[in-house]
Structure 1
């Protein structure tokens, strides 16, 4: 549902004036859906994508119900991250001050004393993160006895981040609440379970249709050489020339490495991750929001709740964990009716897995090869020419130019000399075309060999006369123990396989037998995968929670290859994989946990 104006709804004139002041005249679909409901005194579940305007969707009607001057909080808004909580608090303060409604923000990383002062002074609205809110409840500095409405913003992210215990404790503490509203971009089982337990016959609004998610976003996949992903990123940034760009990495370490490398290339970039202090995070966000730094390199967790207008490009380095992750990241651009670009940098090996990931989606994706140095040189020249032709020189500069022309017999020679000074420092990127083409050709050759039956299993290669390459896996396969098993209901053989490939930066051919037990999983790795494990892969597996600090030590397989079985001792069908061909080592800035 859409509406022509906020004036179509029963909102006070003071709110309408404030919205006009901010340039908000037409509600987004989620705002229109919520505001148009005849009965808002009920539990509600709203599924709407990131950047859809959820904050005003719940603040406008809920603040309209409150009266100013109250000492105890009546509205509690929970958010997964400090950044989102502070943004929500800012919107609440902006609308609330008109009616004398005070807002207190209580988030981690900020002064506890100042937060206690805010609460003692009195606030009708409290906005915070689950951990810090629960801390105040246990200290006795936050009283929820008068809470009428509890809002869970980005409920899926709060559960993904491990806040279920905190959320349940807060929900049970707010015993007198009249309604609970939950807003979420996705509806996994964990969200359904929470709703079933704590919400009573909630009104359900779903505005998360795929066509709405992608209509303002152009999706492009750039194929890049596996060993030159960072150089490819530089080329793509030069080619695309984003006004404001958010780059997603998979680990906190990589955000610093990528931002540092971009700075070395002369590109203005900053990292955003959970290891930074609150001051560092706030400074980085402010620099990005104002455009002083046009490139922000972040992890999924650090970017949750990030609401920055005008992000022209999202760049995802490597294969995303899931379709949900891909969509959620892309939602940072193309907001509020503006067009945006979502770019995915994949190696040829990763491209097949991404095609499988989007096989049931109607999303339109443009596939491109990474631009090469020659193409970048041409477009950089065209851009510089346009800027020169559009430039209006000051009178004294024009007089200087006329003086130079009088002293020169060759105007073209003079212009060439001036251009030599202007263009000498224009970056043109790296030569990557040949490297990428070699990888593409190798993949085509391997695919043709498989179709013609020239590739068999790793154990019968010698019998077919082609086993010289795969024979080296005999007796050299090592196994590791993964800290996920059948008792972990969200994990399966397929998910473990994908996580290992992503963390180690190898193809599925490098992962052997996967044997799920109740409490753990045993996985066989090829020598190439073991090399990746030693080359930073262990850290990424630990970051993912797949192994503990010491549980991932490779365990050598004793003797020759084991007899292949279709089922393990417990009757579970094995997720068996074949080593068909060794892949190249993981690139430095490849797919991480």
Structure 2
């Protein structure tokens, strides 16, 4: 479907930019025949809203003239929630109104306010900015909005979520009553509708969103990973889908810093983007992505709205989003303007239920799998090398002469091998990751009578004191003589066995070895993982005879100097002497762990104790 009839300056500009037909939101907005109507529009992110409202207000600004007149007080005002979105909107309007002779001024926080004031005072046609900076210019007398013919609120829901309601009302109250007001929002919540009712006149309602249907141009994948291999999974996903740019989302600034450093260390051309960065740092990072100097951007949710990065084909949720809205806005950075994209959720095995609920609430059918293996990545590298367009391009005469000399000097095999080594040298090495086996939904354990449970413990079934019936024990070749301590033993066991600390039960530390329980539900997976990743310095093997290297001491009751200590994190530093335990007795070695006795590991009844024997 072609664009509706537009002023000649816009038809020529759109043709030059390669716009053949409008997106659904553009078609819906431009189909409104009343050129003076207020619009209340709900549309998905990445649907072409900027061009839609830019074309919609065109006749209002031009008023049947072929070009805009001499710049003076602004004729149009566009308000956006973030600096990056406002700057992006400004760039879009600059090329859209280039042949109309428009002067566009961008006013955002973090930039030189005096330079913005000089540009405003010199005259302009369109002002684009963030609420706080625009209000500041207005109250200081630098911006005159008395001649506005149109005002656009882009991402209005986000502006209200960020607390800009007072700023918006102050700006809107200072504008002429006969202006056009266009309000764009991803959702039309009660506060958005109230804002529209207060500042719009008989607004035309346009809804281009499709309820409970995921973005048709985005493919969703959910990848199960063991909790301590999230970073490696990010590496392998980036390597497996190695086409175009990628945006990796983390939950916190600290996570962004850590993952950014890790990717740079591995050889990825990456930049970081978070709220703590200065405006110049954020601008430089985005420019590096647009110029192709960087391929990966690691960001917090500050980048989830409004950014339109070129050639962005992949979004990775390194940490799960908080809710459905965050998931959709993050994923909406790809699959824009008719391009295809992929959104990958990395789901730790401990958070699979949360991910399933999140996807179901968003109406998304994701394809579940394990992380890409190193073998699959190397196979994809071979296919990409064989299909590289450079192998099909015809060389110049100089190239052909040099190629003939090279083949004659070293032979075709050596040339081909050198090409392969050169190709691989630019690619970070993939990681050996563990593919977790999907576990069936856990059933609540049957309750055991107190007497029977105590009997099992007393008889040492399942491995010894502090355990439960049928719990397997494993032996670690590190003991007290190697300064064994739960503070580093538990992370070590988790890393080697691809489990979490909640899957570790009682721990007993001897002179030259450590015995520990593993939850029966993950014992087979744990054994497979430690066999696949042998470490000679810290061997782990099952205790097949369910016995110990030496008889364990008898369990002492409260007040008798019982030797149990908790494996939970607690007071830092070495033990300074015996600590008083329950009753009057001292508990030898309690400071090697922390806490004051047995502590439940999570919601299950699988308890974690450490015994220093």
Structure 1 residues 278-321: Cα deviation after superposition (integer angstroms, max 9, x where no partner) = 22211111110122211111121134221123211111112111
Equivalent position of 1:116 in the other structure: 117
Aligned to 2:90: 89
Distance 1:339 1:221 in 2: 18
Match of 1:501 in 2: none
1:12-51 correspondence runs (5 A): 12-51=7-46
Matched, 1:398 2:422: no
Equivalent residue of 2:244, what SS? coil
Aligned residue for 1:246, secondary structure, equals: strand
Per the alignment, residue 561 of structure 2 pairs with: none
Offset at residue 101 of structure 1 (A)? 3.2
Contact 1:314/1:332 (8 A) holds in 2: yes
> Structure 1 residues 69 and 362, CA, compared in 2 at 3 Å: closer, same or farther?
same
Residue of structure 2 in register with 1:352 after alignment = 353
Partner-residue secondary structure (3-state), 2:57? helix
Tell me the alpha carbon deviations over residues 407-450 of structure 1, each in whole angstroms, 9 at most, x when there is no partner: xxxx87x57965784577454412112xx43xx47x54xx45x2
1:11-33: CA deviation from partner (whole Å, max 9, x where unpaired):
11111101111111211111111
TM-score by length of 1: 0.72
Aligned counterpart, 1:513: none
CA distance in 2, matches of 1:468, 1:197: 66
- Contact 1:66/1:101 (CA < 8 Å) preserved in 2? no
Q: Distance in 2 between matches of 1:377 and 1:390?
A: 22
Higher relative contact order (CA 8 A, sep 6+): 1
What is the SS of the residue equivalent to 1:343? strand
- Contact kept in structure 1, 2:324 and 2:361, CA below 8 Å: no
Query: Residue 349 of structure 1: CA displacement?
Result: 2.0
Q: Whose helix proportion is higher, 1 or 2?
A: 1
SS at 1:358 equivalent: helix
Residues 470-549 of structure 1 aligned to structure 2 (within 5 Å): none
Counterparts of residues 547-562 of structure 1 (less than 5 Å): none
Change (3 A) 1:293 1:150: same
CA contact (8 A) 1:147 1:176 kept: no
Aligned residues of 1:42 and 1:178 also touching (Cα < 8 A) = no
Paired residues of 1:221 and 1:367 also in contact (CA < 8 A): yes
Matched, 1:5 2:2: yes
In structure 1, distance between residues paired with 2:217 and 2:42: 19
Where do 1:12-411 residues align within 5 Å? 12-67=7-62, 68-210=69-211, 213-387=214-388, 390=392, 394-404=399-409
Corresponding residue number in structure 2 for 1:454: 446
Based on CA coordinates, which of the two structures has the bigger radius of gyration? 2
Q: Does the CA-based 8 Å contact 1:248-1:299 persist in structure 2?
A: yes
Instruction: Classify 1:399/1:97 alpha carbon distance in 2 versus 1 (closer, same or farther; 3 Å).
Output: closer
Secondary structure of 2:227's counterpart equals: coil
Residues paired across the two proteins, number: 478
Q: For the residues of structure 2 that align with 1:175 and 1:508, how far apart are their CA atoms? A: 63
Deviation at 1:245, TM superposition (A): 0.9
Aligned to 1:574: none
Q: Is the 8 A contact 1:528 1:583 kept in 2?
A: no
The answer to whether the 8 Å contact 1:148/1:176 transfers is no
Residue 478 of structure 1: aligned partner: none
CA distance in 1, matches of 2:93, 2:566: 54
Instruction: Note closer, same or farther for the CA distance 1:15–1:528 as it changes in structure 2 (3 Å cut).
Output: farther
Q: CA deviation at 1:196?
A: 3.7
When residues 400 and 250 of structure 1 are mapped into structure 2, their CA distance, relative to the original with a 3 A threshold, is same
Cα distance change of structure 1 residues 146 and 389 upon mapping to structure 2, 3 Å threshold: closer
Q: TM-score, normalised by structure 2?
A: 0.69
Aligned equivalents of 1:455 and 1:256: distance in 2? 46
1:538 maps to none
Distance 2:598 2:383 in 1: 62
Indicate the SS of the match to 1:49: coil
In structure 2, the gaps of 5 or more residues are 63-68, 458-464, 469-499, 504-564, 573-593, 609-613
The alignment partner of 2:369 has SS state of strand
| Separation in 2, partners of 1:40, 1:507 | 63
**2-structure distance, mates of 1:456, 1:31:** 65
Cα offset for 1:361? 4.9
Q: Distance in 2 between matches of 1:82 and 1:460?
A: 66
Task: Output the CA distance in 2 between the equivalents of 1:508 and 1:187.
Answer: 42
Contact 2:214 2:364 in 1 (8 A): no
